[in-house]
C-alpha cells in the first residue's frame, strides 16, 4: 500500500442516489474523480473491463443507469454546495477570500467517461447506453459552471495486449482520424489511472473533453 501512497486511504460506502449522503461525503474536499457506473453486475461499481457482456445485464434491472445521471448530479451538487459554504465561512470569519479559480488548485471535478467507439450501443430501461453516458458528460460541462472540470473519455481498456507506461494520447476533436482508427484505440487500465491523476493538476485540461488512449508501438 505504501508504494502507492494509499496508507491513509479510507473507503466509505455511500448511496449515490441519496442527495444528503452525497452532500456529506463532499464536504470540505477539493476534488472529485467520478468513475462510478451501475452497468456492471447488480450493484453500482466501476466497469471492470469495459466488456459489453457485463453491460447487457443492465437491461434486466429497471433502475440501471440512474447512477450515471442522478448519482452524478447529486455528487456535483454536493461538491458545489461544499465549496460555496467554504467561501461563505471565510467571508463571515473575515478571512481573505481567495479567487474562485486559483491556478495552483486542483481541478474540482474529473469525469471519467467512455469514448464513443469504446463499446457498442444498446437499449436499457433508462435509454440507450451511449445517450446516458453523453448525458453525464454534458451535465458536467454545462450545469455546474462554478466548478472546474475535465471530461476524460477512455478508449476500450486492454491490459493483455497493451503494455503499461506507453505514451498517453489525448484528442479533443482536433485530430483528423478515421472511424476505423478510432475503434482500434486501446488503453491499459494503469495508464488510465495515471491519466486521471495527472488531469487533476493539468490546467490545460480545464473545461475540456478529450478522448484518451495509449500510443501503441509499431
CATH of the domain at 57: 3.40.50.720
Higher pLDDT pick, 8 / 64: 8
The reported pLDDT for the residue numbered 148 is 96
Strand 149-154 relative to strand 208-214, pairing: parallel
Domain of 29, in residue numbers? 11-214
pLDDT at 29 over 50: yes
| Overall number of domains in the chain | 1
Q: Please determine, for residue 72, whether its predicted confidence score (pLDDT) is greater than 70.
A: yes
Please give the share of the chain, as a percent, with pLDDT higher than 70: 78
Grid cell of 99 as nine digits = 479567487
Residue 8 above 50 pLDDT? yes
On whether the CB atoms of residues 117 and 173 are closer than 8 A, the answer is no
The residue with greater pLDDT, 137 or 64, is: 137
Domain annotation covers residue 139? yes
In a domain, 3, yes or no: no
Q: pLDDT tens digits for 171-204? A: 987 777 777 788 889 999 999 999 999 999 999 9
* 185 within 8 A of 155, measured Cβ to Cβ: yes
Amino acid at each position: 500500500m505504501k508504494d502507492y501512497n494509499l496508507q491513509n486511504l479510507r473507503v466509505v460506502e455511500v448511496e449515490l442516489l441519496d442527495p444528503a449522503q452525497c452532500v456529506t461525503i463532499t464536504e470540505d474536499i477539493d476534488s472529485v474523480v467520478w468513475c462510478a457506473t451501475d452497468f456492471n453486475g447488480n450493484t453500482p461499481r466501476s466497469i471492470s473491463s469495459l466488456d459489453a457482456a457485463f453491460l447487457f445485464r443492465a437491461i434486466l434491472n429497471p433502475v440501471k443507469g440512474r447512477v450515471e445521471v442522478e448519482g452524478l448530479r447529486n455528487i456535483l451538487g454536493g461538491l458545489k454546495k461544499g465549496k460555496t459554504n467554504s467561501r461563505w465561512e471565510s467571508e463571515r470569519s473575515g478571512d481573505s477570500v481567495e479567487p474562485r479559480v486559483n491556478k495552483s488548485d486542483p481541478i474540482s471535478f474529473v469525469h471519467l467517461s467512455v469514448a464513443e467507439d469504446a463499446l457498442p450501443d444498446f437499449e436499457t430501461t433508462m435509454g440507450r447506453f451511449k445517450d446516458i453516458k453523453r448525458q453525464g458528460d454534458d451535465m458536467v460541462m454545462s450545469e455546474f459552471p462554478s466548478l472546474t472540470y475535465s471530461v476524460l473519455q477512455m478508449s476500450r481498456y486492454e491490459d493483455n495486449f497493451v503494455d503499461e507506461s506507453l505514451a498517453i494520447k489525448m484528442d479533443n476533436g482536433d485530430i483528423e482520424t478515421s472511424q476505423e482508427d478510432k475503434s482500434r484505440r486501446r488503453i491499459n487500465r494503469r495508464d488510465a489511472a495515471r491519466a486521471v491523476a495527472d488531469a487533476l493538476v493539468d490546467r490545460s485540461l480545464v473545461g475540456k473533453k478529450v478522448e484518451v488512449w495509449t500510443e501503441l508501438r509499431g
